[in-house]
Amino acid sequence: MKMIPAIDIIEGKCVRLTQGNFGQMKVYRENPTEVALEFQNAGLEYLHLVDLDGAKKGKVVNWKVIDDIQSKTALTVDFGGGVNTSGEVEQLLELGINQINIGSLSIKEPKTFITWLHRYGAENFILSADVKNENVMINGWLEAARFRVLDLVDHFINEGLLYLTCTDIGSDGMLKGPNLGLYRKLKDRFPSLKINASGGISSIEDLKDLEYLQLHGAIIGKALYEGVINLADLKKR
């Protein structure tokens, strides 16, 4: 299972939210690139990069941070946050972004997402489902989409979907453990899907539990920034 540290960006700074609430934002570092380099120097290979401004506005905003991280690190980066046009997809791929997370657009314009899967290659995309009680939330977690996560995945699995990142909003930022039942249900329903877990990871035991479910990756955010899990522990996994 891949260990994937996360960097969330608001106004060019490295931040974390609690349960997706923009009113509960904590700034951890002024320079996200410095954080990314620390991950790289600790021997980690992957990075989950989220433009929260972009998620809220429906278009990529923090291009400067993306470009800076891409030019100064060798991390394998998956990016999400407001990607809404083919031009943005192409620009991100040209910058060397490994995979692009698609969230709100998969609900609002499913045909566009299917077109991208076919045109650019399914290996370049991750369906990003942010869920609350298994219901999908969109627009920076601010609006309910009236879709169950299992139904959303069903819609794209026959179109070649290979990857899913599922964030449990109720667990996110709470440091009380991930929603194992949710990930078990997804893995049972879609055994070939490469699933990344996100939300609530707070210990090495949590990572072992997710690994037992044979998930593809684990995204770790607040636990790293609060020092609950340290980088050396991740490297050992």
**Of the residues 8, 53, 206, 209, which is catalytic?**
8
pLDDT at 123: 98
pLDDT at 26: 81
Considering only CA atoms, which of 169, 38, 45 is closest in space to residue 98? Answer: 45
Name the amino acid, one letter, at 33: T
Q: What pLDDT digit, counting tens, does each position of 22-54 carry?
A: 666 688 899 999 999 999 999 999 999 999 999
| Residue 151 annotated in active site | no
Neighbours of 66 (CB within 10 A): 24
pLDDT at 219: 97
- pTM given for the model: 0.93
pLDDT at 140: 58
| Residue 130 annotated in active site | yes
**Of the residues 51, 53, 78, 130, which is catalytic?**
130
Helices (H), the chain: 32-41, 52-57, 63-72, 86-94, 104-108, 110-120, 149-157, 180-189, 204-212, 222-225, 231-236
Q: Where are the chain's structural domains?
A: 2-236
Confidence of residue 174 (pLDDT cuts 50, 70, 90): low
The answer to whether the beta carbons of residues 19 and 61 sit under 8 Å apart is no
Instruction: Copy the structure tokens of residue 195.
Output: 């699933």
Distance CA 165, CA 173 (A): 16
pLDDT at 149: 95
Q: Using the structure block, give the residue that is written with the tokens 């972004």.
A: 97
CATH code of the domain occupying 2-236? 3.20.20.70
Distance CA 98, CA 117 (A): 14
Pick from 10-24, 131-145, 161-175 the range whose average pLDDT is largest. 161-175
Q: Which of 121-130, 135-144, 183-192 has the lowest mean pLDDT?
A: 135-144
Considering only CA atoms, which of 176, 234, 236 is closest in space to residue 5? Answer: 234
